[in-house]
Amino acid sequence: MLIRYKVIKESTRSSVIVDSEQYKLRYFKDTVVEASPNTLGIMVFRRRHQALDFAYNIQRRNGISTLVLRVEVFGRGKTPFYISRWVNAGIDLSVFYNRSYVDKKYTHEGRIYAVVHPIEGTLCYDTVRVID
């Protein structure tokens, strides 16, 4: 059994970075969660300390109460090559990025998006089982 760590919103038990109903997944103990088709997958962290760091900074910078869950992962994890600094939920992940790593920028609906390498320890899986 391979264990990874998922950061979720405490209030909704859903992802802290996805606000779209189309892609919102819920994470409850002993459930199997599958990623929506045509997405990068379910974002998790390789190590607990990476998930805790992410959760702490989300709480501090965006005021969102979070939980770190252990999940069993299935299949081979993928590390995305690039992700956006601003994500679907409108929260700013810039605390995790050194500005020198910003490779591209684009504008959409008046917001500037920085396309950067993912946060250290980021992996994406198609299927996870929530352990706690």
Q: What is the pLDDT of residues 105-126, one digit of tens each?
A: 666 566 665 666 677 899 999 9
Per-residue model confidence (pLDDT) at position 99: 46
70 compared with 11, residue with greater pLDDT = 70
Range of the domain at 116: 3-130
In this structure, are residues 64 and 4 in contact, taking their beta carbons and an 8 Å threshold?
no
Q: What is the pLDDT of residue 106?
A: 60
pLDDT at 101: 47
d(CA 63, CA 99): 23
Domain count, the chain: 1
Q: E strands, 1-132, where?
A: 3-9, 32-34, 42-45, 66-74, 83-84, 104-108, 111-116, 122-125, 127-130
- Burial profile 101-130: b = 16 or more Cβ within 10 angstroms, e = fewer: eeeeeeeeeeeeebebbbbebbbbbbebeb
In terms of Cβ atoms closer than 10 Å to its own Cβ (0-12, 13-18, 19+), residue 60 is exposed
| Residue 130 amino acid letter | V
Select the more confidently predicted residue: 63 or 51. 51
Closest listed residue to residue 17, CA positions, set 126, 102, 122, 108: 122
